[in-house]
Amino acid sequence: MPKPLTIACIGCGGRGLIYLELASKQPKRYQVVAAADPCESRLDRAERYSANPDFRRFRDDTEILAEPQLADVMIIGTQDAQHKEHAIAAMKRGYDLLLEKPIASNPDDIAEVHLLARRLGRRVMVCHVLRYTAFYRKVKSLIDSGELGDIVSLNATEGVEAWHYAHSFVRGHWSVAAKSSPMILAKSCHDLDILRWIVGTKCQSLSSFGGLMHFNQRNKPNGAPARCLSGCPLGDQCIYNADRYLTDKKRWLFISPLPEDSNESDFREWLHNSPWGLCVYQSGNDVVDHQTVNMLFKGGATATFTMTAFEENRHIEIFGTKARLIAGDRIKKGYGCDILVKPHADNKEAVTHCIGQSDGGCATHMGGDASLVDALYDEMRGKDTSAMTSSLEVSVESHRMAFAAEESRLSGQTFHFE
Ligand SMILES: NC(=O)c1ccc[n+]([C@@H]2O[C@H](COP(=O)([O-])OP(=O)(O)OC[C@H]3O[C@@H](n4cnc5c(N)ncnc54)[C@H](O)[C@@H]3O)[C@@H](O)[C@H]2O)c1
């Protein structure tokens, strides 16, 4: 039996803990040996998942990286603006990385991480979880099979969903671009990455439009206080009322650093003081709530992408010379299948494909987190690094598309890649 891959983690928040929990379910392949996070309750969970009597806990990146290399792979699960520093320090200490997206928050920092990984020969797997889903793998295999003919046009939509948007991008960590990342990078780098992967050629040019239309002061209802729990007179009518964190939206409280045994009054107190209790029309947020990107790929295929706060889940349409493919949440709701392929020939019937629920279906991350952790072993141990599914190499390219889209949105100019 080959040796298990040993794993350590810097940043045991929502993402870090998901990966640690999934890895701990495969003890023959993975051993979680150490973790760092300033939050004790998160370290407790990491230690519980590890089930390793020699598990080591550290207060932060500096403490864990002051030690000699403790594991084969370091998960970088901290916030966007910290990735560059933590990735570089961990690579210098000898670790290969499972690096949360974005690789870093600006193109120069990404280039620095990329160059260092090359120079040191480190493997870096970027958490582009969608590439690992059964759903997108099936879409890609249908295209690669030639069933659709040449790909001419694509339309993709990412519906963030209104409450999720308000939670993460109005009140949450990704609400101010300068402190984290622009929306097109923070949320939609996955979608640009999938489009690039599916088309199979480089993006040549793109343009983008978008803005923050709804979650701003202009739409603040008269009389709404700065915080929902300060007796908002419109609380009963507002779907974003933070009081819902204590009723039907409790599952979103995972964001809080409070210990697991906290009670309702602890969470109420936390909502009184944290950004998650703010009125969504007065949160100081600036990232867009809707954006479109228009792309031209080498070879002539064109694609459009829409991110909106006001739709749920993902949807994609791919138009080829032999057939069209429609897939995602809308087709699921309408036809009960995940992917529908309709040949242009009149005498050919549409073919449907279902992705089993156990394979992740087509909602949220679509099983991508589990499949990514499944793939981690081979991606880190495989002989051929060019065969990695979401290596730094391929991820850098789709990150560049996201930065170009933001530049185009802000400048109003079409961006041409060299
Ligand atoms: N791949 C995906 O689909 C996906 C989805 C959501 C988020 N993300 C990305 O994952 C990253 C983490 O997101 P999250 O939701 O888990 O955030 P989070 O805030 O829940 O987790 C970050 C953790 O880092 C810890 N931390 C802060 N400073 C630290 C330090 N110096 N040393 C060690 N730990 C430190 C925090 O205490 C926290 O527990 C973000 O960059 C985010 O953009 C990726």
Q: Per residue, what are the HEC states of 102-166?
A: CCCCCHHHHHHHHHHHHHHCCCEEECCHHHHCHHHHHHHHHHHCCCCCCEEEEEEEEEECHHHHH
Residue 239 has pLDDT above 60, yes or no: yes
**How large is the average pLDDT for residues 396-417?**
98
Is the shortest distance between the CB of 79 and ligand 1 below 6 Å? yes
pLDDT interval class at 365 (50, 70, 90): low
Alpha helices in 171-250 (DSSP H): 183-186, 189-199
Q: Is 130-215+286-416 CATH 3.30.360.10?
A: yes
pLDDT interval class at 359 (50, 70, 90): low
* 308 neighbors 290 (Cβ within 8 angstroms): yes
Q: Which class is 5-122 in CATH?
A: alpha beta
Computed over every residue of the chain, the mean pLDDT equals 95
Residue 332 has pLDDT above 70, yes or no: yes
Is the shortest distance between the CB of 37 and ligand 1 below 6 Å? yes
CA atoms within 13 A on the CB side of 124: 32
Is the shortest distance between the CB of 185 and ligand 1 below 6 Å? no
Give residues with Cβ within 8 angstroms of 86, minimum separation 6: 10, 11, 61, 76, 78
**Residue ranges per domain, the chain?**
5-122, 130-215+286-416, 217-277
Distances (CA, A) of 49 to 19, 126, 238, 261: 10, 22, 38, 18
Distance, CA 133 to ligand 1 centroid (Å)?
22
Residue 360 has pLDDT above 60, yes or no: no
Distance, CA 36 to ligand 1 centroid (Å)?
12
Kindly report, residue by residue over 28-40, the tens digit of the pLDDT: 999 999 999 999 9
